[in-house]
Chains A and B, each alone.
Chain A
């Protein structure tokens, strides 16, 4: 489990063919993890995504997932939306799909 607020990454997975986590959707998809459990490479990749310096990738593809990532830096939460292809595998693997 995450150790502190600043260490927490909250993940929400949206869209896909099934329209996960959308208004009215019965399927909720998400999870959370402690940033301290990620590899240095994954943390670096996340830092780049949150800073906006990550190499621009293609837009979300038809039926592709979007990941809504939230982390708290200095007490202020920051949220970004990222196409699945840019999300580190360890973060993708922290997601679970559940029925509402």
Chain B
């Protein structure tokens, strides 16, 4: 994996090949808080195919965050199975899960979660450090990923020299640099103003449409969920609703129709 050759096409996955990318089968998750048992998930089943753009919605406590943690291999189901890319990951050890996260999953968080006082380039390099990619290739891939999200000119900026939208784009570049099977975005627009939110959603839509990257987006904002092509709604630890959106919103069109403004990316901090 470490010596994988990088080409433009390596970011493209074919949605029609192979079985479902993700299969959650009757997943239960129970937390113990002292004597109290909290049933966060009560038998959720979910299939996600390659190339999907899915929004996971639900109220606080509905189980969507727990699902996200399990999908991201940060947590293991108490019961039920989770098959990712043909591999049952529900019984793996801590270190094996770390390797899966490194290779198959890209995270984008609400709070960006970039390393402070570390340049955009070095932040994007980080996942490859843990994969053992050699220096020259690491640099090349990090630059390429930053160019994809439109930050090719900002390689050496520190996070505090970047706007919120730019920071989130650095985080997206970091999430895709190891060519993951899926990008999990947890409230990625929660800390952004509405225009910047549309810009970030545009990045996700382009990654999904142009490169076929599978994206799962957790949000509680219905209008953000409308950018996805499928919506899954959680309630009380189960999936209440699962439907396709016939005509998703297009972030590109919305941006074009918005009045042109000064580039808000210019060092507003």
Partners in one complex: no
B residues near A (Cβ < 8 Å) are: none
A residues near B (Cβ < 8 Å) are: none
